Amino acid sequence: MKEFIEFIVKHLVDKPEAVVIREKVCEEKKVIFSLKVEQNDVGKVIGKKGKTVIAMRTLLTAVGAKQGKKATLDIEG
């Protein structure tokens, strides 16, 4: 799942080398991903009215469900 998020985000931002994704396993079936990008790229990841990040979270939920896990995505500035 981490590679999936990384692939999408690196194609959205201007500085893909600054993308950092941390994975935190809270429970056996719950995973939280923290995404950190350059300050100038935060708007590109969020999108207009949050539509880009909502779409990424929806896809992440689907990928996680396929693996039997509940995954969430947090964005750090």
Q: How far apart are alpha carbons 14 and 25 in whole angstroms?
A: 29
* Token pair for 76: 């750090």
Distance of CA 25 to the CA centre of its chain: 15
Would you say the pTM of this structure is higher than 0.95?
A: no
Q: In the structure, what pLDDT confidence band is assigned to residue 24 with cuts at 50, 70 and 90?
A: very high
Q: CATH homologous superfamily of domain 2-76?
A: K homology (KH) domain (3.30.300.20)
- Judge whether residue 77 has pLDDT over 90: no
For 38-74, letters b (16+ CB in 10 Å) and e give beebbeebbeeeeebbeebbebbeeebeeeebebebe
Q: Can you give the residue ranges of every domain in the chain?
A: 2-76
